[in-house]
């Protein structure tokens, strides 16, 4: 385990070549992330048509899919989808929230309700 006796700050210095490779890799990573952001922005700003001929933009489609996952008790990601919806609505907890303990208890209760619903559906 790390502690003051076995930590030696600054002991290993990167060579110029290692620094160069790290800089190149960092640049590639930033470009890749920027490309992904642009692609996601293009997808979200697009317009889509469902089977019934209704049009919706990408944001609406993603929100509908998230809601569908959250409302399905058989889906393993339903609790996380519900939490994401709450965060998007501005109702998510923050670290400085004084009611964080109560919210964690509520999370536990929701998880139990979800598990019970899954068990009942299985029976």
How does pLDDT run across 19-37, given as a tens digit for each residue? 999 999 999 999 999 999 9
In sequence order, what E strands does the chain have? 47-49, 55-57
Query: 61: which residues sit within 8 A by CB, 6+ positions away?
Result: 48
Locate 59 and state its tokens.
């944001």
Q: How far apart are CA 52 and CA 87, in angstroms?
A: 30
Q: Is the full-model pTM beyond 0.75? A: no
β-pair partners for 49: 55
Indicate if the pLDDT at residue 111 is higher than 60: yes
């Amino acid at each position: 385990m790390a502690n003051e006796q076995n930590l030696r700050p600054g002991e290993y210095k990167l060579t110029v070549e290692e620094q160069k490779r790290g800089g190149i890799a960092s640049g590639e990573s930033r470009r890749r992330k920027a490309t992904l952001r642009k692609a996601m922005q293009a997808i979200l700003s697009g317009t889509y048509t469902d089977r019934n001929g209704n049009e919706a933009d990408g944001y609406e489609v993603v929100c509908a899919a998230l809601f569908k996952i959250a409302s399905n008790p058989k889906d393993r990601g339903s609790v996380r989808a519900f939490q994401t919806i709450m965060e998007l609505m501005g109702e998510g907890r923050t670290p400085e929230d004084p009611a964080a303990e109560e919210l964690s208890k509520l999370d536990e209760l929701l998880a139990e309700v979800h598990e019970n619903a899954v068990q009942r559906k299985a029976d």
